[in-house]
Amino acid sequence: MSSHTRVALVTGANKGIGLAIVRDLCRQFSRDVVLTQLQAEGLSPRFHLLDIDDLQSIHALRDFLRKEYGGLDVLVNNAGICFDSRVVNASSIMSFVALEYCSPGLQQNFRSETITEEELVGLMRKFVDDVKNGVHQNEVSEMGLTVLSRIHARKLSEQRREHKILLNACCPGWVRTDMGGPKSIKTLEEGAETPVYLALLPSDAKGPHREFVMEKKVEQWGLCPQFPPWVPL
């Protein structure tokens, strides 16, 4: 396999939004898409086992990509956090909701343009404890992912001469999955639209980068967006 073959990787792609993203990428991406099974539809993605909680499994996938492709061109983090090339982290508009419920001091911390990964980890550990004790809401995981995406993107911007990687977080919307439930307003295909749009940005694109994207539009982090009617406030 030529090391020049472009490759896209989707994690958590065995069902739901991840599967829909793979399906759409297979139709639009001109090279190889890794993870899941869609041969019955005439598509031919490659499958590789990945357990995001197992460091050995992560390293095995990394070594496979290096050997077969020499790296990675597109990564859609539908499950888990890692990055190497053009990255889309699947977050949620609920991160904005969680931010609105924070105290002014915590809002300032999460909105900070200079927050570090270590500081974020400390805040998230406190939130995990609060959730376990029933004193805060569960949406903090999406908020942490959004802020972590901004931290990683900031680091990439500081190394711009070495890396030309665009990294964004996005909200697929309220999608009819096992988690979203039958009352959700979006189909799987509709939920995949924004992640796939970001994954297929042109190679010479300057942005979006370090943004939160919903319905293919940038929502400024820290400013309350126009919430859809289904968002519980």
Q: Going by DSSP bridges, is the β-strand pair 7-10/86-90 parallel, antiparallel, or unpaired?
A: unpaired
Grouping H, G, I as helix, E, B as strand and the rest as coil, residue 82 is: coil
pLDDT mean over 26-41? 73
Confidence of residue 231 (pLDDT cuts 50, 70, 90): low
pLDDT at residue 221 tops 80: yes
Preceding omega of 208 cis (within 30 degrees of 0)? yes
User: Out of 3.65.10.10, 3.40.50.720, 3.40.50.300, 3.40.50.980, which CATH number does the structure's domain 7-92+141-219 have?
Assistant: 3.40.50.720
pLDDT attached to residue 210? 94
Percent over 70 (pLDDT), the chain: 83
* Residue 35 scores a pLDDT above 60: no
Cα angle for residues 93, 97, 99 (degrees, 5° grid): 110
Rounded Cα gap, residues 178 and 182, in angstroms: 8
Q: What is the pLDDT of residues 194-216, one digit of tens each?
A: 999 999 999 889 899 999 999 99
Q: At 57, which amino acid appears?
A: S
State the pairing for strand pair 86-90/217-219. Answer: unpaired
Are 87 and 77 contacting, i.e. CB atoms less than 8 angstroms apart? yes
Model pLDDT for residues 127-185, shown as the tens digit of each residue = 777 767 766 555 667 888 899 999 999 998 887 666 678 999 999 988 888 877 888 88
pLDDT score for 174: 86
Query: What's the angle, vertex CA 89, arms to CA 214 and CA 189, rounded to 5?
Result: 55
Domain ranges of the chain: 7-92+141-219
Give the integer Cα–Cα distance in Å for 20 and 167: 21
Work out the angle at residue 125's Cα, subtended by the Cα atoms of residues 151 and 159, and round it to the nearest 5 degrees.
15
Q: Which residue would you say has higher pLDDT here, 77 or 116? A: 116
Beta strands at 7-10 and 32-34: parallel, antiparallel or unpaired: parallel
Determine if the pTM surpasses 0.85.
Answer: no
